Structure 1
């Protein structure tokens, strides 16, 4: 049996007439009669008896029609699902982000996308960069934001970005009077350092070595949100990414640019060689637009876009 035969049978059941079924299908009456006859041969029993003004379904036809309607409902559900997927009204997108981007930037991405496509569910997991790289490569996430100092064959780098780190301090700190902070200004100054294993900490340590400066490290922590919380409580000042201090507000933390520039790099990554859902691609495109709209972030490379 084929779909055309089933459609002819269904139309005849719905309209109670071969003539009306043919009109609904935009076919000739003999064509519909032939389709139903072929279906009767396939199923092995008679489907209709002729009656004045139409046809009467046999008991077997009624039972068969009930099963067919259940199948049609399933097909309608499939069609509805396809429309929802196509129109971004169904889907689940999984994002991973390093802590510095998870407090404001990535929530902004999710908020912006959800305002347009509220039916797409988005999960956000916060991990360290090495963990994000490993889990994204294993397809646990559709894409992620992470430090990625070395290229990996199991990851596609979609875009690379850079921000300039800032010095975060309480508004009443003596250095708040300066427009620019230099390494010499930090000699002997109480500071909260990012954990020594972070990329930013290595840049900062090298800056102090080059300038022959020894700050007073009162605390060491990770992520930058924790460092800013300690700064807000007067433990010391800190060199962090420019996004995190903004979460605390100008009344709690002041920021000043640093010379020389300490870069804060991150990349947008996704699993290599794997197809991407329409929903994930749409969220990722929105993420790129949101990131590149930030005046604090500069795109540092035009990466190959993996369209698999």
Structure 2
């Protein structure tokens, strides 16, 4: 399989134009058209349909692109590594994370690491847990941060249970309390993550144990979205230790108050590496810094599975 054909396919996929794909690939428009046509001939089906002057991906192209994009990332990483070795640079660090740690925690940590290691090229990616686990196992990423799950034979891991706090509107009666309990929130709607999230499940169990009625009014994808709704007075939400730590410096949400919450509910976080591909010296240094930084954060209790 010719890698240049895959690159043309990717560029047409993201631009919807042969002309733009050719420009971005530094080839002529006829050459780009020929490569795409040859690629379609090789695989035996059409990848694009023309509509209103744009090339629209077919269902088959939508399915194929995810795999092609991952392959191209791997090739680009390889090319960068070859150039780095030739130029005596200090190496490359590839990290992939779920949204929460990538918002402020990892950028701050990477900045600290780069001060000590200015020659290291760092790439930080954002993805879902399954893609991160697969990427770490395949060597696409050296370090991954994911929601804690069952142990895997493909990964080494350090697992963290991060204490959750209650985010509550400032004008709510319970906001005046030092600690908030379920009883203090009776009748108050919750803004939660999806039903399969560990914190949502733990919150549901807590309500069942107390025989109180839980009212979930809004479901969101990230804690940051939940905080926005709390700031609008739409209900209360759980906030993990990392977001709690950075709340004052990151968010302008004057109507949100954070308080310790009972019962104790934790947000699980797992730092994973491949047990088949040893970490480079650069990656080992960053991994140690990452673990030390997580251990130091208030409200975090460490469990290790190495």
Into which bin does the TM-score normalised by the smaller protein fall?
0.5 to 0.7
**Which of residues 256, 266, 288 is equivalent to 2:291?**
288
State the shift of 1:204 in Å.
0.9
Is 1:240 the counterpart of 2:239 in the alignment? yes
Which has the greater radius of gyration?
A: 1
TM-score, length of structure 2 as denominator length: 0.66
2:109 aligns to what SS in structure 1? Answer: helix
2:232/2:255 contact within 8 Å kept? no
Counterpart CA distance in 1 for 2:238 and 2:175 is 14
Aligned position for 2:230: 231
Matching of residues 3-22 of structure 1 within 5 Å: none
State the shift of 1:180 in Å.
1.0
2:145/2:272 contact within 8 Å kept? yes
Distance 1:298 1:272, change over 3 A: same
Q: How many residues align?
A: 220
Structure 1 gap segments, 5+ residues each: 1-77
State the shift of 1:228 in Å.
1.2
Counterpart CA distance in 1 for 2:171 and 2:282 is 47
Aligned position for 1:175: 174
1:153 aligns to what SS in structure 2? Answer: coil
1:222 aligns to what SS in structure 2? Answer: coil
2:242/2:297 contact within 8 Å kept? no
Matching of residues 201-212 of structure 1 within 5 Å: 201-212=200-211
1:99/1:224 contact within 8 Å kept? no
Greater shift in the superposed pair: 182-191 or 125-134? 125-134
Aligned position for 1:127: 127
Aligned position for 1:22: none
1:190/1:235 contact within 8 Å kept? yes
Aligned position for 2:187: 188
Counterpart CA distance in 2 for 1:148 and 1:215 is 25
Aligned position for 1:262: 265
Matching of residues 1-308 of structure 1 within 5 Å: 81=85, 84=88, 89-157=89-157, 159-245=158-244, 246=247, 247-248=250-251, 251-301=254-304, 303-304=305-306
Counterpart CA distance in 2 for 1:91 and 1:137 is 20
1:100/1:241 contact within 8 Å kept? no
Aligned position for 1:27: none
Greater shift in the superposed pair: 195-204 or 118-127? 118-127
1:276 aligns to what SS in structure 2? Answer: coil
Counterpart CA distance in 1 for 2:152 and 2:215 is 38
Counterpart CA distance in 1 for 2:109 and 2:255 is 25
TM-score, length of structure 1 as denominator length: 0.66
Aligned position for 2:17: none
Distance 1:187 1:128, change over 3 A: farther
2:241/2:298 contact within 8 Å kept? no
- Residues 32-55 of structure 1 show CA distances to partners (whole Å, capped at 9, x for unaligned) of xxxxxxxxxxxxxxxxxxxxxxxx
- Residues 171-218 of structure 1 show CA distances to partners (whole Å, capped at 9, x for unaligned) of 332221111111122221022111112111111111111111223322
State the shift of 1:252 in Å.
4.6
1:193/1:219 contact within 8 Å kept? yes
Report runs of 4+ in structure 1 exceeding 3 Å deviation. 80-84, 249-252
1:133/1:148 contact within 8 Å kept? no
State the shift of 1:249 in Å.
5.3
Aligned position for 1:72: none
Distance 1:115 1:251, change over 3 A: farther
1:228/1:244 contact within 8 Å kept? no
